[in-house]
Structure 1
Amino acid sequence: MAITAKDVNKLRQMTGAGMMDCKKALTEAEGDFDKAIEILRKKGQKVSASRADRDTKEGSVFVKTNADHTEGVLIALNCETDFVGKNEEFLALGNDIIDAAFENSPSDIAALNGEKIGDLTVSDKITEMVGKIGEKIEISEYVRLSGDAVVPYIHAGNKLGVLVALQGAGGADVSEAGKDVGMQIAAMNPVAVDKNGVDRSTVEKELEIGREQALAEGKPENIVDKIAQGKLQKFYKDNTLLNQQFVKDNGVTVSKYLDSVQQGLTVSEFKRIVIG
């Protein structure tokens, strides 16, 4: 059957695919729009597969919290180029995915890829977008937090996102404090909330480094372990959130800053996602 320009334009409006791709798909499908859409999706799958080894170091982070700010979701949607990462359709896809993640609470990225956006799964929507733009796209990170207050912080350029779960808010508005702490996490990249959250392998590595440094400096062997413990405490101070100097006021730690906002206010958990 003859494929008209009107048919091609209709399919283009339905899918966002290129004019020539739409014409070829309609011709192959003998004018059946459903089959043509499936053909375009299959093309996207082939593009996705052919680009499986490409690096996806660009993209954007997306965040969403509930109305009372006690739950939050943060994802990273990656692509190959910064140009695509700023594309309106790419950003719309990211917002659709964060909505699906927020509404359905999938357990991990694999489960998120199986959630529905309209009639398609998240995975199919990504494949569809790959078919349109010819770049590899993937969800690289997905986290969900809950707490007395969950506050998001997105750094300029949407390449770095933080979720902070606060405990001990006592019903007070602690959103500004949460944003301040989110900024701290973005800038200082702490490894844990406090020393109790630092994994044992990191502790052992820091102690080993401390011992080797002490020996290299010619310190007596009988005090090497004590020196290593001192260096470990310095590591905790520099690298655990609550013990870090507050970036907006180096005269206090993050812990003391939060307590000054609301007595007993602290951070129970945080997640930091960066693209690139």
Structure 2
Amino acid sequence: MVKITASDVKKLREITGAGMMDCKKALVEAEGDFDKAIEILRKKGQKVAAKRADRESTEGAAIAKVNKDHTVGVSIVLGCETDFVGKNESFVSLANQLAELALNYASKQDFLAADFEGMTVADKLVEQTGVIGEKLDINAFEKIEAPYVGSYIHAGNKIATLVGLSAAVEGADVVAKDVAMQAAAMNPIALNEDGVDAATIEKEIEIAKEQLRSEGKPEAMLDNIAKGKIKRFFKDNTLVNQAFIKDSKISVADYVKSIGNVSVTDFKRVALG
């Protein structure tokens, strides 16, 4: 039997917001598996906060850059070991320089092999590891190309997001930044319903059914009610269907349409961790 410590229970409580005893029981049932314990709590009807992995973040700087034409954007995370280094001005400057260079490359592999001050980016990271005394690495590399690309960097360089729009119309700059802020704050799992993988949908349906069974709903009704809960899941967790954070009466998709025949084509979100 796996030993469940008080710190394990405390950690699960911090992640989910569920009660201490409920967390302990879920961890025991899940044999210490945190993901399984969260699923158990949800199946029992607990209103789990489901905070993202940002709580476990390592240190560094998340940076987003967009080219002059606003048609290409890149976001990277330059990782380090301590908050002290991550906030250092020269470290953040290096992260910005690297992100600017990254605009010219299609993949992390190509970027790491690119020339930076007479050496490859990969070698520069090794060099700076020796200088700073902490391991430096590119923990994330994401790129977007679209008719209009906007970006947002959350305070303290903890999160960086990119958003692509289908047209470069008047007001695209404001809208793209607003949607990028939305992606940073709400951490959607996909752009729309089509981007959610089948396994996730299947798991959510099963969780919904278990919740309904615990409420005493007849088995014959479960499928139809679960479909409604899945629609709600899409609304809460896919970017274009989420309520717009600056006006909860409309969706993100509706907000984007307010500047014309425009839609969100893609988004990327990188964060420390």
Q: TM-score range by the shorter chain?
A: 0.7 to 0.9
What amino acid sits opposite 1:272 in the alignment? R
| Stretches of 4+ aligned residues off by more than 6 angstroms | none
Q: Could you tell me how far apart the structure 2 residues matched to 1:237 and 1:141 are?
A: 27
* Greater gyration radius: 1
Q: Could you tell me how far apart the structure 1 residues matched to 2:201 and 2:164 are?
A: 25
What amino acid sits opposite 1:270 in the alignment? F
Native 8 Å contact 2:164 2:267 kept in 1: yes
1:274: how far off?
1.0
The one of 248, 251, 270 aligned to 2:267: 270
The one of 210, 225, 245 aligned to 1:227: 225
TM-score of the two chains, using structure 1 as the length reference: 0.75
Native 8 Å contact 2:72 2:103 kept in 1: no
Deviations, residues 192-243 of structure 1 (Å, cap 9, x unaligned) = 1111111111111111111111111111111111111111011011111111
Q: Could you tell me how far apart the structure 1 residues matched to 2:225 and 2:57 are?
A: 43
Partner of 2:17: none
TM-score of the two chains, using structure 2 as the length reference: 0.76
Q: How many residues align?
A: 218
Q: Could you tell me how far apart the structure 2 residues matched to 1:245 and 1:99 are?
A: 33
Partner of 1:172: 170
5+ long unaligned stretches in structure 2? 1-55
Indicate the SS of the match to 1:68: coil
**Mapped pair 1:184 → 2:177:** no
Deviations, residues 59-116 of structure 1 (Å, cap 9, x unaligned) = 101222111101111100010111111223322321232232112x142x23322111
Q: Could you tell me how far apart the structure 2 residues matched to 1:132 and 1:221 are?
A: 64
Q: How does 1:33-182 map to 2 (within 5 A)?
A: 57-103=58-104, 105-107=105-107, 109-169=108-168, 171-182=169-180
What amino acid sits opposite 1:58 in the alignment? E
5+ long unaligned stretches in structure 1? 1-54
Q: Could you tell me how far apart the structure 2 residues matched to 1:245 and 1:56 are?
A: 27
1:56: how far off?
7.8
Indicate the SS of the match to 2:92: helix
Native 8 Å contact 2:106 2:143 kept in 1: no
Partner of 1:31: none
Q: Could you tell me how far apart the structure 1 residues matched to 2:237 and 2:147 are?
A: 24
1:191: how far off?
1.0
Q: Could you tell me how far apart the structure 2 residues matched to 1:123 and 1:68 are?
A: 28
Q: Could you tell me how far apart the structure 2 residues matched to 1:234 and 1:91 are?
A: 39
Q: Could you tell me how far apart the structure 2 residues matched to 1:224 and 1:174 are?
A: 43
Root-mean-square deviation over aligned CA pairs: 1.5
